[in-house]
Amino acid sequence: MSAHRADPRLSRFDPLERIIFYDDFDEGIRGWSELIGNYEHTLDSMLAEYSDMRPPMLSNLTMWDTGAAGSMEGDYALKLASRARAGSLATSIKRLTFRRRGHIQLECYFTFKPEANELRLSLNDVRAFGVLFDLQDGMNPEYRWMPHLRYLNAQGDEMINRWQMKGATREFQKIGDSGETVSHFHLGPENWENVDAPAQTLAYNEIATKMNWHYLRLNVDLAERRFLGFQCNDLIYEGDPLKFISIPAMPNLNCMLNTAFWVESNRDKRAFLYLDSVLLSGEF
Amino acid sequence: MSLRRSYTAIVERNVLWQGEFASEPYESAWASEAIFFVRALEVSRDFAGTAHVQISADGIHWVDEGSSFDLPKSRDEVTFCKVRHFGGFLRIHGIASNDGVKVLVSLALKE
């Protein structure tokens, strides 16, 4: 039996050869920070979409009707909270670099809900949540590439329940006047495509104050630049590699290995994504 | 030695406050002490405003904690308020004069 199977906190994961990080949010925020856009001289120079991506927080999942639920394994989860505005995004990122271009695998346990400020089902009040990698080759880099995976829960009044990928970003825009800074917004509503996998209805559990935890896994090959597949609970996608955003390498991003999660509201109501724990493993 | 955990959240950034305002709710149950810092990024002449710390059991229903402080009146001026024993959720709420202030609000929390 491998060593991680004997550890009750790790035995629910299937890591690759070595663990790059394991973040149990009972220990704190663990290096997850708010995503912000690039700017020069003034915050007003930032692309508007990046101006307000909300700070992550530690939550013990306290509900007005039943008190604190705690996290899946412990007391605290990382919470991303949008504003109470349709289309508002909350996005948190952890920034690393890699030391070898091998396979990497992200695993997490998550749940999502709208703010429980109405006594109704609220099933379609969260539009989407997702996870992305922001990657660039190391020595003599050719590409920066960004695998995105989102679960589109609902759009307007329609339940969608589909996993989606993204193959293109928006045009780069110059920021400020020095010529040194550019920015592109890659979390807009355009260019999402359904993954060739069935719709998946994730347990919502009837009211906005009950949370069930879900498992998610993503696999990426840094050497071949392939987005290999994913698993969410009992849905396993191992078909053709998924599409991703690919752009020419940028001057100061070599070996970048960034991971980000986000959640988007579908109503003028806060949308919450909770992460009990996140594990990134790899071959290196 | 075990160090005390701490975290600073930027709960509002480059946001214009005119009239009634409230910062976004922030979960703070793990912390035992907090400081709200408000820095003025842009402020009009003769601006005046007061912020009141509010606490909440659920992040939805809010009540004044009892602490208040003035908002900054000049660019890059910082004002602050210390709070302890606040339960699960924190925000500041108040009234700013209609000419407004653009703020950056930091919430510094410590175990």
Residues of B with CB under 8 A from a CB of A: 5, 7, 9-11, 13-15, 24-30, 41, 57-61, 88-89
Cα–Cα distance list, A34 to A82, A133, A137, A184, A265 (Å): 12, 15, 24, 17, 17
Q: pLDDT per residue over B64-80, tens digit each? A: 999 999 999 999 999 99
Q: Which pLDDT does position A6 carry in this prediction?
A: 86
Residues of A in Cβ contact (< 8 Å) with B5: 28
In the predicted model, what is the mean pLDDT of residues A201-226?
A: 96
Nearest to B60 among A57, A60, A115 (CB): A115
Q: How far is A108 from chain B (nearest CA, A)?
A: 21
Q: pLDDT per residue over A113-159, tens digit each? A: 999 999 999 999 999 999 999 999 999 999 999 999 999 999 999 99
Q: Is residue B16 part of a domain?
A: no
User: CB-based contacts of B11: which residues, under 8 Å, 6+ apart?
Assistant: A55, B23, B24, B26, B91, B105, B106, B107
What's the rounded Cα separation, in Å, for the pair A110 and A108? Answer: 6
The rounded mean pLDDT for chain A is 96
Give the rounded distance of the alpha carbon of A282 from its chain centre: 18
Between chains, do B27 and A55 touch, taking CB under 8 Å as contact?
Answer: no
Question: Which region holds residue A190: left if phi is over 0, alpha if psi is between -120 and 50, else beta?
Answer: beta
Residue keyed to tokens 């690759």: A16
What's the rounded Cα separation, in Å, for the pair A40 and A68? Answer: 42
Please say if the pLDDT value at position A194 is more than 70: yes
Q: Sort A181 into a burial class: Cβ within 10 Å, 0-12 / 13-18 / 19+.
A: middle
In the predicted model, what is the mean pLDDT of residues A87-112?
A: 97
Report the DSSP beta bridge partners of residue B79.
B38
Q: How far is B22 from chain A (nearest CA, A)?
A: 12
Q: Is residue B2 part of a domain?
A: no
Q: Which pLDDT does position B23 carry in this prediction?
A: 98
CB distance B54 to B62 below 8 Å: yes
> Which CATH number is A133's domain given?
2.60.120.260
Minimal Cα distance from B107: which residue of A? Answer: A55
CB distance A182 to A36 below 8 Å: no
Half-sphere exposure of B35 (CA within 13 A, CB side): 11
Confidence of residue A5 (pLDDT cuts 50, 70, 90): confident
Between chains, do A55 and B60 touch, taking CB under 8 Å as contact?
Answer: no
A8: which DSSP letter?
Answer: T
Q: Is residue B87 part of a domain?
A: yes
Size of interface A-B (CB pairs under 8 A): 56
Count of domains in chain B? 1
What's the rounded Cα separation, in Å, for the pair A109 and B44? Answer: 47
In the predicted model, what is the mean pLDDT of residues A240-265?
A: 97
Q: Which pLDDT does position A1 carry in this prediction?
A: 59
In the predicted model, what is the mean pLDDT of residues A155-176?
A: 96
Q: Which helix (H) or strand (E) holds A77?
A: strand A77-81
Please say if the pLDDT value at position A178 is more than 80: yes
Q: Return the SS3 of A277.
A: strand
Domain, as residue range, for A58? 3-282
Taking the CB of residue A19, how many other CB atoms lie within 10 A of it? 14
In the predicted model, what is the mean pLDDT of residues A204-233?
A: 97
Q: Is residue B63 part of a domain?
A: yes
CB distance A109 to A279 below 8 Å: no
Residues of A with CB under 8 A from a CB of B: 28-29, 34, 43-44, 51-52, 54-60, 62-64, 68, 76, 79, 81, 83, 115-117
B59-89 in b/e burial notation, b at 16+ Cβ within 10 A? beebeebebebebbbeeeeebebebeebebb
Between chains, do B61 and A52 touch, taking CB under 8 Å as contact?
Answer: no
Give the rounded distance of the alpha carbon of B82 from its chain centre: 10
Q: Is residue B18 part of a domain?
A: no
Q: Which pLDDT does position A131 carry in this prediction?
A: 98
Q: Is residue B99 part of a domain?
A: yes
Q: Is residue B92 part of a domain?
A: yes
Between chains, do A60 and B27 touch, taking CB under 8 Å as contact?
Answer: yes
Q: Which pLDDT does position B2 carry in this prediction?
A: 84
User: CB-based contacts of A154: which residues, under 8 Å, 6+ apart?
Assistant: A123, A124, A125, A126, A127, A160, A266
What's the rounded Cα separation, in Å, for the pair A66 and A174? Answer: 49
In the predicted model, what is the mean pLDDT of residues A54-62?
A: 98
Count of domains in chain A? 1
In the predicted model, what is the mean pLDDT of residues B83-111?
A: 96
Q: Which pLDDT does position A69 carry in this prediction?
A: 97
Minimal Cα distance from A115: which residue of B? Answer: B60
Q: How far is A174 from chain B (nearest CA, A)?
A: 20
Domain, as residue range, for B104? 26-110
Residues of B in Cβ contact (< 8 Å) with A76: 30
- E-state strands within B32-88: 33-43, 49-56, 62-70, 78-84
